[in-house]
Amino acid sequence: MILRSGDNYVQIDVLERLYQNDNDYWDGNWLNSEVKINFFGFKGIYGTNFRSDEFQQFYNHLIKLKNNLTQKVEFAAMEEGLYLEGKIDVTGNIKWKGIAKPEFGSIQFIFDLETDSASIDNVIHQLKEILEKYPVIGNIS
């Protein structure tokens, strides 16, 4: 999944399920991932873990944003590897605030990014592909 504005971007690549043989909701939905960032010449890449249900929630929020049922979306990872908050403005552009934070250490990269409303369809499509390959498994109870 990638959010891009010109040469600036934040990208999530899901590599594999962390616990490939586990069908439990709490353990089976962890995804080994990489975050790539590129902002005004600053480039970074780091590994982190996300959950399938985090992608599912973000997907659901983007569908609501696309259908004008909300003005704000959020991707908040349990492990704090990446935080994204998008707000749609009056022109239809989405202003993103983000925090990229490697799993270990106190370094974090705070960024702003603006995308047009047409980019929502692309991100929704990318999230759908992630969820088809790594669906949420098990039940929360």
Domains, the chain, with CATH or none: 2-133 (2.30.31)
Query: CB neighbours of 66 closer than 8 A, spacing ≥ 6?
Result: 120, 121, 124
- Quick check: 9 and 98 in contact, CB under 8 A? no
Has residue 5 got a pLDDT over 90?
yes
Confidence band, pLDDT 50/70/90 cuts, at residue 58? very high
In this prediction, residue 117 has a pLDDT band, given cuts at 50, 70 and 90, of: confident
**What is the pLDDT at residue 65?**
93
- In tens, the pLDDT along 18-54 reads 998 888 999 999 999 999 999 998 999 999 999 999 9
Query: Which of 127, 131, 103 shows the shortest CA–CA distance to 3?
Result: 127
Confidence of residue 118 (pLDDT cuts 50, 70, 90): confident
